[in-house]
Amino acid sequence: MNVGFIGTGTMGQPMLANLVKKGFAVVAYDVVPAALAAAVKSGASAAGSSAEVARRSDLVITMLPSSSHVEAAYLGAGGVAEGVAAGRLCVDMSTVDPAVSRRVAAALETRGVRFIDAPVSGGVPRATDGTLAIMVGGDGRDFEEARPVLAAMGANIIHVGAVGSGEVAKLCNNLIAGVSAIAVSEAFRIAEGFGVDHKVLTEVISKSSGNTWVMENMHPVPGLVPRSASSRDYEPGFMTDLMAKDLGLAVNAARELRVPVFVAPAAQQALRLASSHGLGRKDFTAIYTFLKPSSDQAPV
Ligand code: NAD
């Protein structure tokens, strides 16, 4: 089977490598030449546009930064819609606004093309191991058709519901992960102010009610979890700007539904502030470095 892969960045790269390893013939495209060259190094053949990827493949995967990139790659000039044959299936694995998934699905449907959203969780380590969690929105038969391809990249593949609902699940997950990273960072800054050892605190929390996947796998404090971004100078991983985007999508969804939300907007603003201080392209757990104690020792 020929699988098209558009967006061979931080996540796309290891996901594509796993498809190649599992025997799929992969044709790739990325707007950044270095990213495309890396995909070729992993065993993919290069295409000159998203339309060409769609023409040359049986199933198209996209792994792009945000909503506007997904709309451009599918519906813009030289996009998937220009090259894809009727009857084909497209799988968007990016994290985007669920309304965008529905809009792209509807536009493709007019050409007889099927679309499902299948965002992922687990970051680069799980993308590399091929054990991503994948949450799928779309028709049940399309889900089953995509399953063998998704299984080359993920271990927990869950059908959530109709088109867009994979994205809803993803936004809910990232709301919790984004807030957790800030909560863990704040807690460790307080503890270190009192001279409590990071390693000991990690051990205590990992056995207590504050334990979180973020602390166990993506510890914001360097040197405690070898595979965490913090242990390699916060190289992403998952960029601060992308997490701020996801929290923004969650806040927008809540606003649309008139659900009151308090911590998600605060977390988003903290990440935006960190971004404006140069941390946007660092891993989102670098928020820990931003939450330094004030030099003003006056009592609060
Ligand atoms: P990234 O920016 O590293 O990679 C995206 C790639 O898409 C880049 O190489 C970029 O050049 C390319 N691109 C942008 N517009 C394009 C277009 N029109 N046509 C072709 N290529 C285009 O981002 P990433 O970290 O790989 O994340 C991708 C998606 O996965 C995001 O939606 C992100 O929220 C989500 N995600 C990321 C992680 C993570 O840990 N990095 C984890 C889960 C989900």
At residue 294, the pLDDT reads: 82
Encoded tokens for 111: 């050409």
CA distance 274 to 102: 32
Q: Which of 21, 22, 41, 170 is catalytic?
A: 170
CA distance 35 to 13: 8
Ligand 1: nearest atom to the Cα of 246? 34
Classify residue 113 by its DSSP letter.
Answer: -
Q: Is the beta carbon of 31 within 6 A of some atom in ligand 1? A: yes
Instruction: Decide: pTM greater than 0.95.
Output: no
CA distance 224 to 182: 17
CA distance 6 to 57: 11
Name the strand (E) or helix (H) holding 136: strand 132-137
Classify residue 31 by its DSSP letter.
Answer: S
The reply to whether omega before 43 is within 30° of 0 (cis) is no
82, with CB counted inside 10 A (0-12, 13-18, 19+), is middle
Q: Is the beta carbon of 9 within 6 A of some atom in ligand 1? A: yes
At residue 300, the pLDDT reads: 58
What is the mean pLDDT for each group of 10 consecutive residues in the chain (300 residues)? 97 98 98 98 98 98 97 98 98 97 98 98 92 98 98 98 98 97 98 97 98 96 96 95 97 95 98 98 98 75
| β-bridge partners, 212 | none
Encoded tokens for 228: 């965490």
Residue indicated by tokens 């996947």: 213
* H-helix segments, the chain: 12-21, 33-41, 50-56, 67-75, 80-83, 98-109, 123-129, 140-151, 165-193, 198-206, 213-218, 240-257, 263-274, 287-290
Known catalytic residue at 22: no
Residues 6 or more apart whose Cβ sits within 8 Å of residue 248? 268
At residue 298, the pLDDT reads: 66
The rounded Å distance from CA 238 to ligand 1 centre is 10
Q: Is the beta carbon of 53 within 6 A of some atom in ligand 1? A: no
At residue 296, the pLDDT reads: 67
Residue indicated by tokens 């190094």: 41
CA distance 21 to 61: 16
